[in-house]
Structure 1
Amino acid sequence: MTISADDSGPVRIVTAVLRDGDRVLLCHRNAGRRWYPDVWDLPGGHVEEGEDPKGSLVRELREELGITASEPSSPPMHEIRTATFDMQI
């Protein structure tokens, strides 16, 4: 299975680790989702064409959680690269 809509390469994804002490916010993905349905996941989403990953993360957090976050000032804490997606955390 590929998650690249047009086979132009891996889908770019950004996520955030939102912490309060030892607690981490996870979002539950709908069971009807096409990819990775019914799982707990970090908030975030796809980087749109021509979009900066940091700006994309701010947009995704606003859309998903209704919060206004500042752009990250440091590089990603972890990156996961597979044949189908590149994820920055």
Structure 2
Amino acid sequence: MRKTLSVVAAILENENKEILCALRSPKMSIPNHWEFPGGKIQDGETPAEAIEREIREELKCSIEANEIFLTSHHDYDTFSIDLTAIRCKLVEGFPTAQEHSKLIWLKRENLDSLKWAPADVATVEQLIKEQL
């Protein structure tokens, strides 16, 4: 039986309506694919608490979780992901890559130009639809 991981992802939008995208490093699983930054929900954490903690750890800035944007499920070969994408607001600091190879801000209509981790594709598609 495959393991299912519960993870959160931040939808962070700047004042120019660009969304933060993070490139997974060659050392990470699913290397060199783009994702929305975030990580695993720990025991006893709400999704909002998890995303605020993960962004503090991964990007060295503070955010505020606002609302759930989308929940989705993706089956990889050896594990599954239950992903909760959360709209967030940058509260303090500026996102700085710690574990990722690169961070970029991208307009919604350009999100599909990147090679996304499969679990993030549903969120990308929904963000692009929202634009229309």
| Residue 17 to residue 71, structure 1, CA distance change in 2 (3 Å) | closer
Tell me how far 1:51 sits from its aligned partner: 1.4
Map residues 1-89 of structure 1 onto 2, 5 A cutoff.
Answer: 2=2, 4=3, 10-20=4-14, 21-33=16-28, 35-72=29-66, 74=67, 76-83=68-75, 84-89=80-85
Cα distance between partner residues in 2 of 1:82 and 1:37: 17
Indicate if the aligned counterparts of 1:29 and 1:41 stay in contact, CA closer than 8 A.
Answer: yes
- Which amino acid in the other structure matches residue 64 of structure 1? E
Tell me how far 1:53 sits from its aligned partner: 1.0
Structure with higher strand content = 2
Name the SS of the counterpart of 1:16 in structure 2: strand
| Deviation >2 Å, runs of 4+ | none
User: Normalized against structure 2, the TM-score is what?
Assistant: 0.55
RMSD in angstroms over aligned alpha carbons?
Answer: 1.5
Task: Give the aligned length.
Answer: 79
Which runs of 5 or more structure 1 residues have no equivalent in the other structure?
A: 5-9
Structure with higher helix content = 2
Tell me how far 1:71 sits from its aligned partner: 3.2
